[in-house]
Amino acid sequence: MPYIVKTLISEMDLQERVRTLAEEIAPRLGPDPIVIGLFKGAFIFTADLVRELYRVGVNPAIDFMVLSSYGAGMDSAGTVAVKLDCREKLEGRHILLVDDILDTGNTLLFTIDHLRAKGAAQVLSCVLLDKKERRKMPVKADFVGFPIPNEFVVGYGIDYAEKHRELPYIGAVVQQQAAS
């Protein structure tokens, strides 16, 4: 179906919120922290967030994990698996887990459990966007960039069938009815 992408959060608003998020996060991070971003959706958010963390005096290790994802459509598979684990040793470490969107909660719950099972001392979580009304699992992020309504979004690293990750803003996908 044809669709358009409508701006939901501007580039300027994203920049400003990432900056204030870093200020909220910095005092709560433990010593010698690791930032773990989830590929691919959180790659731009993670890159911007660690640079804002630097400005407020945080010098973390940085790693990434790849999980099984949505596939090409708009619906979550419901099951999550690790495709590529992070390489850092996590025992006793203080972690900031970074994801793009908190939706049903499957991904965040699974990943927090996974990191704890690897011996992390602390797992804080930060998501750019929170679709609260979609939640199925009992999980909350410690830091949320923006709560958003139940709309399918793209941009700033987030895709629809591998498209639109390069947009510097967050847009909502709006389906267009074919003219009849």
Q: Applying CB under 6 A, which residues contact ligand IMP? A: 41, 69-70, 76, 99-107, 152-153, 158
Question: With binding defined as CB under 5 A, does residue 145 bind Mg ion?
Answer: no
Spatial neighbors of 35 by CB under 8 A, at least 6 apart, are: 46, 49, 50, 53, 60, 61, 62, 63, 95, 96, 98
159 as an active site residue: the answer is: no
Least Å from the CB of residue 41 to Mg ion: 4
- Window of 7-15, 35-43, 48-56, 138-146 that interacts with Mg ion by CB under 5 A: 35-43
CA 72, 75, 157, 55 dihedral sign is negative
d(Cα 121, Cα 4) in Å, to the nearest integer? Answer: 44
Strands (E), 25-121: 34-39, 61-67, 82-84, 94-102
158 binds, among ligand IMP, Mg ion, none (CB under 5 to 8 A by kind): ligand IMP
* Candidates 103, 113, 130, 142; catalytic one: 103
Choose one: 40-48, 74-82, 117-125, 129-137; the region binding Mg ion (CB under 5 A).
40-48
What radius of gyration do the chain's Cα atoms show?
Answer: 16
Nearer to ligand IMP, 26 or 165 (CB): 165
Interacting residue with Mg ion among 9, 14, 33, 41 (CB under 5 A): 41
Residue closer to ligand IMP by CB (options 34, 125) is 125
- Count of other CB atoms within 10 angstroms of residue 126: 24
Distance separating alpha carbons of residues 151 and 171, to the nearest angstrom:
10
Q: Rounded CA gap, 135 and 127, in Å?
A: 14
Min dist. Cβ of residue 100 to Mg ion (A): 5
Q: Which is nearer to ligand IMP, 52 or 103 (CB)?
A: 103
Active site residues per annotation = 103
Residues at the interface with Mg ion (CB under 5 A):
41
